[in-house]
Chain A
Amino acid sequence: GAVVSQHPSWVICKSGTSVKIECRSLDFQATTMFWYRQFPKQSLMLMATSNEGSKATYEQGVEKDKFLINHASLTLSTLTVTSAHPEDSSFYICSARGSGNTIYFGEGSWLTVV
């Protein structure tokens, strides 16, 4: 079946640095990928919709200059958290549509900013 791979699974970075998270569709092409953020004990909140070859569409309240999204190919989207702060510490997860109606998720990335 369709598989979405996300890397890294967890990362610790210092305040002020940037960190990149990759989301790959391994056996299908995904023209659209989605990035979510999940705070502890809460549901997933959509951050942005990533479209291959064009600019991402950000949800209200999400800083596009802070959360840079690049969808350079049909199998790869990246989320870069720039100038990270401790409040950016969270669980970030991507998803992509596979064949049919199913949306598949990556494994998620735990980000801790110290």
Chain B
Amino acid sequence: AQKITQTQPGMFVQEKEAVTLDCTYDTSDQSYGLFWYKQPSSGEMIFLIYQGSYDEQNATEGRYSLNFQKARKSANLVISASQLGDSAMYFCAMREGRNYGQNFVFGPGTRLSVLP
């Protein structure tokens, strides 16, 4: 079974508009972390935002916010005021358990295209 699901292979958004990228996850652990990464065409992975399973408030980092709905096991990324430079692949990832040294799993990604 897929641990991380991103149902939107591609998304378009108009510049300056907000966009939500969906992510649902599957875990039986009580302790886990959720991450969003941006991957431009050059390939590097850029960390955007982190949400811990015990965090009561939704994480925010500048124009990025994470809409964390624990009961629904969703961790959607919201990008406000989209910019042309936001065009990239976006990956949702999850780390399970308390062993912070462990790897995590990635979703299939969503390709975001920002239109001028």
Which A residues contact B (CB, under 8 angstroms)?
Answer: 31-32, 34, 38, 42-44, 46, 49, 91, 93, 95, 97, 101-108, 110
Contacts and interface: CB of A to CB of B under 8 A. Distances in A.
Contact of A102 (B50, B91, B105, B108): B50
Nearest to A95: B45
Interface in B1-53: 33, 35, 37, 43-47, 50, 52
Interface in B42-81: 43-47, 50, 52
Given A43-B91, A102-B50, A103-B35, A97 B101 contact: yes
B6 to A, nearest CB: 9
Interface of B: 33, 35, 37, 43-47, 50, 52, 91, 93, 95, 100-101, 103-109
A91 B101 CA distance: 23
Interface of A: prevailing SS: strand
A108 B89 CA distance: 15
A91 B95 contact: no
Nearest to B52: A101
A43 B106 contact: yes
